[in-house]
């Protein structure tokens, strides 16, 4: 007989000083995991569990790492005519109130120009601020979001070739960065959003991922009131994991099964 902790770094993680930094029982850990899956704010979890703020922050980050590794282990997406891959980019910067404040907490947004388009700024708002941008791919319940600083073809095309199998059907808008997808072996269909949201000729649309952007922005920018640039990708992975497990009959057991697959016990 042996403990479930044996060889499983999730239940007894090692800190930066190479010391085991977990003094919680298994039941206490499962309590924190449950509150994480219920998306309970840390300040409320502190009151319910009696754990310190730093302990809950550490465990919430560890749980997000599990979701990140599950998302990263996914195979390539295969788009078909019946179920194409929709791609799009969105800006996760929120809005300034009275032209003041931060777009993301603790984040300075870099100033840059998109190389694929001529940018014009006729308003007296100063230089255009570009980013942070999030590039997304969606096919049914499989969505993958990537935090990027630019949305030019040098940034987006490598992500597409990595995540999508060659020959896949891809739907997008008419952003110039996607213009070379046909030459790379993809079946690329576009819709001009200045004319139609759904192409009347081919039915090409990006409605699914556009709706997904709305849900993600409500969660990250409104309910969470933003996040840091360092943690943005982990929160995007957390959202993608929730979409993937949307119809799961038991979210807790499914998460523990993912923990087992990510941190396999060593005999």
pLDDT, tens digit (0-9, with 9 covering 90-100), for 97-154: 445 444 454 444 444 444 444 444 444 444 444 457 899 999 988 999 999 988 899 9
pTM, to two decimals: 0.74
- Residue-averaged pLDDT of the chain: 80
Give the residue with greater pLDDT, 173 vs 200. Answer: 173
Give CA separation, 30 vs 49, 118, 252, in Å.
Answer: 11, 52, 9
Q: CA–CA separation, 193 vs 222, rounded Å? A: 26
Q: CA–CA separation, 264 vs 267, rounded Å? A: 9
pLDDT, position 235: 86
pLDDT, position 77: 93
How confident is the model over 185-214, as a mean pLDDT? 87
Q: Which residues is 20 bridged to in the sheet?
A: 14
pLDDT, position 39: 87
Domain 85-223, classified CATH 3.10.450, yes or no: no
Residue 63 pLDDT greater than 70, yes or no = yes
Are the CB atoms for 156 and 176 separated by under 8 Å?
Answer: no
Please state the φ and ψ torsions of residue 88, each to the nearest 5 degrees: -170, 165
Are the CB atoms for 150 and 131 separated by under 8 Å?
Answer: yes
Which among 154, 150, 158 is positioned nearest to 109, based on CA atoms? 150
pLDDT tens digits, residue range 241-261? 988 888 888 889 999 889 888
pLDDT, position 247: 83
Q: CA–CA separation, 162 vs 98, rounded Å? A: 41
């Amino acid at each position: 007989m042996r403990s479930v902790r044996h060889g499983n770094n999730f239940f007894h993680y090692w800190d930066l000083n190479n010391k085991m930094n977990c003094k919680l029982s298994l039941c206490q850990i499962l309590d924190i995991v449950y509150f994480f899956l219920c998306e309970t704010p840390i300040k409320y979890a502190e009151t319910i569990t009696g754990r310190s703020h730093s302990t809950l922050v550490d465990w919430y980050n560890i749980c997000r790492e599990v979701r990140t590794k599950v998302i990263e282990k996914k195979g390539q997406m295969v788009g078909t005519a019946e179920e194409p891959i929709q791609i799009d980019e969105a800006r996760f910067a929120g809005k300034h109130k009275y032209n003041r404040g931060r777009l993301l907490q603790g984040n300075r947004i870099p100033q840059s120009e998109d190389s694929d388009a001529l940018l014009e700024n006729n308003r007296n708002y100063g230089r255009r601020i570009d980013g942070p941008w999030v590039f997304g791919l969606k096919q049914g319940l499989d969505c993958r979001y990537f935090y990027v600083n630019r949305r030019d073809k040098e940034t987006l095309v490598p992500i597409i070739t990595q995540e999508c199998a060659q020959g896949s059907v891809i739907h997008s808008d008419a952003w110039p960065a996607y213009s070379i997808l046909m030459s790379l072996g993809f079946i690329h269909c576009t819709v001009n959003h200045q004319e139609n949201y759904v192409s009347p000729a081919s039915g090409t649309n990006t409605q699914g991922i556009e709706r997904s952007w709305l849900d993600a922005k409500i969660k990250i920018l409104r309910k969470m009131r933003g996040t840091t640039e360092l943690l943005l990708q982990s929160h995007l992975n957390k959202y993608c994991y929730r979409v993937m497990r949307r119809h799961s009959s038991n979210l807790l057991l499914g998460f523990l099964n993912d923990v087992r697959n990510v941190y396999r016990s060593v005999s």
